[in-house]
Amino acid sequence: MSADLETARTWEGPSAPERLSLLRNAKSVAIVGASDKPSRASYFVATYLQSSSPYRLYFVNPVAKEILGQPVYASLADLPEVPDIVDVFRKHDDLPGVLEEAKAVGAKTLWLQLGSWHEGVARDAEEAGLNVVMDRCIKIEHARFHGGLNLAGFNTGVISSKRQVTA
């Protein structure tokens, strides 16, 4: 496949209400490519989800042993349950393999983080019955839908009658 075809963005992802539904209906999230290094985006996302969401979190990394006090699994097949969402922090060329793992375990949603876009993987995932989200951060989406983005300095445009807490 030519590079132009692979980088062209023709696939359309789920709408905001559909993404909210995916997040609301999920009970477990597996973070593939999770890192134990605090400087990595996957660590930041894991920290947020661990402290600000009800999800059962699973970290997948064949090298790390523990992240944020939790065990790390070498693959999706090693998890104690089928994750509802597979949140992926892997390079572009690894995405087809992650999709195959997600399909093999019966995951419901493949979520590719910010900057991650793979039309072929999205098409194949949808053909296999998976929901797909690409080029979106699960932390940002969760915070946006649950009123937490203002804590990170984002002007969400949400008007609320709740009194703002100031330090």
Identity of the highest mean pLDDT range in 50-54, 79-83, 159-163 = 79-83
Q: 125: which residues sit within 8 A by CB, 6+ positions away?
A: 99, 102, 103, 110, 132
4 inside domain: no
Please give the pLDDT value at position 144.
Answer: 84
Model pTM score: 0.84
Please give the tally of structural domains in the chain: 1
92 inside domain: yes
Domain with residue 28: its CATH number is 3.40.50.720
Q: Which residues pair with 32 in a beta bridge?
A: 60, 88
Boundaries of domain holding 138? 13-149
Q: Give SS3 for 110.
A: strand
CA 89 – CA 96 distance, rounded (Å): 13
157 inside domain: no
Is the model's pLDDT at 127 over the cut of 80? Answer: yes
Pull the structure tokens for residue 133.
């989200």
